[in-house]
Amino acid sequence: MGIMRHVVCAMSGGVDSSVAALLLKKRGYSVTGVFMKNWDSLDESGTCSTERDCEDAHRVCQALGMPFHQVSYVKEYWNEVFSNLLKEYEKGRTPNPDILCNKYIKFNHFHEYAINTLGADAMATGHYARTSLEDEEVFQQKHAPAETSLFRHRFEQRNPVRLCQGADRVKDQTFFLSQVSQHALRQTLFPLAGLTKDFVKKIAAEAGFHHVLKKRESMGICFIGERNFESFILEYLEPKPGNFVSVEDGKVMGSHRGWFTVTLGQRARIGGLRDPWFIVDKDINSGHVFVAPTTNHPALFRDTIRTDRFHWITVDPPADLIRTKMMECHFRFIHQMALIPCTVTLNMDGSVWISLSQPIRALTPGQFAVLYRGDECLGSGKIIQLGPSEFTLQQGRQAARLRDTTESTDPPS
């Protein structure tokens, strides 16, 4: 009889992680459930139901006869995720806390805790995703420190683990895992890889996990809860009043309490207007937030972005991108949005330019550009620069036509 493998499963108190733990037990592994507390809800009113979630996770572990632990990453979350979020909002960007939490907390601190403190052979989560490794290959991985250089030595022989979409393409969560490190991914199991959400619910019902099945699926940012985002963010950032300005004629349309209270593409809260106006751009130097009428105004559409240094799941960029500095693949910057064909250009500093096959609405600095080739998630980079909008390009073409017309009608000197 072989060695019983020890797996530490991240338990959220939801249906996905509960079924993940059940499936691991059915595979014959020794499983320990761990609940992570990332936000201190004691000093907030009406935020996450952390205590209830912890209780729900504990009940599942008891039902499965699994040891249960609770670990707090409140300090780490504040220092490495939330402080980062506030800085990004101040810069006029809109960050993604779910991607950052997976990168810095779940697949960093929690991974180290599972392997080094609890002595696990692997960790597991309830994400809908899969890797290129079979379970037994995961158990054979040696724990290695994260790679810190820009690219690995070109002659180093290695076989990187790849991150791929799960069977449920609608629920697929590779988007949220696109910043995870190679060394953590090597020691991670995704028990729900081959399952659909509906089938996971069926398994939960048959197992008697009715207390987690009844829960509403968590959407949005956990630490905000049901509260208005503007009210929440103004608890942490000083108001910086400015004007809503029409992108078409420069007219002041109203006022706001800070550019960080709004994001591109959302409806602007401007009193006294019969028709809705939408946020199309921000200028943090002047404090202006530019707005335009109609939800599909050309000022909202762009087809080019630049990221910061791109995080490749396999550490190195794809071979054809290194060789030619250009590559065809697919792009998304919002979970579950349709994948868009694109051309990627690699820069010397590791950042990339991404040219999309069509203009996309409300491309937003601070969000992550996630790239796919087939069912493989290649990784992601934070959007730090936008190309010109369709409105700007239209204005440029009109100005050029006007200039050409003027020059053709001028009398010869």
Out of 54, 101, 329, 342, which one is annotated catalytic?
Answer: 101
Q: Are 100 and 85 in contact, with CB atoms under 8 Å apart?
A: yes
* Dist CA 300 CA 233 (whole Å): 24
Report the alpha-carbon distance of residue 173 to residue 281 in Å, rounded.
Answer: 29
Say whether 54 is catalytic.
Answer: no
Active site residue 222: yes
Phi then psi dihedrals of residue 89, to 5 deg: -60, -40
**CA 159, 163, 168, 170 torsion-angle sign:** negative
Question: Among residues 54, 164, 222, 377, which one is catalytic?
Answer: 222
What three-state secondary structure class fits 196?
A: coil
Contact at 8 Å (CB) between 293 and 275? yes
Closest by Cα among 348, 346, 347, 342 to 371: 342
The C-alpha atoms of residue 197 and residue 7 are separated, in whole angstroms, by 23
AA identity, residue 150: L
Own/partner long-range contacts of 77-82 (Cβ < 8 Å, ≥24 apart): 77/38, 77/39, 77/101, 77/104, 77/105, 80/104, 80/105, 81/38, 81/105, 82/223
- Strand partners of residue 360: 302
Start-to-end C-alpha separation, the chain:
98
Cβ neighbours for 108, distance < 8 A, ≥ 6 positions apart: 181, 184
Q: 62: helix, coil or strand?
A: helix
Query: CA 332, CA 309: separation in Å to the nearest integer?
Result: 17
- The residues assigned a catalytic role are 101, 222
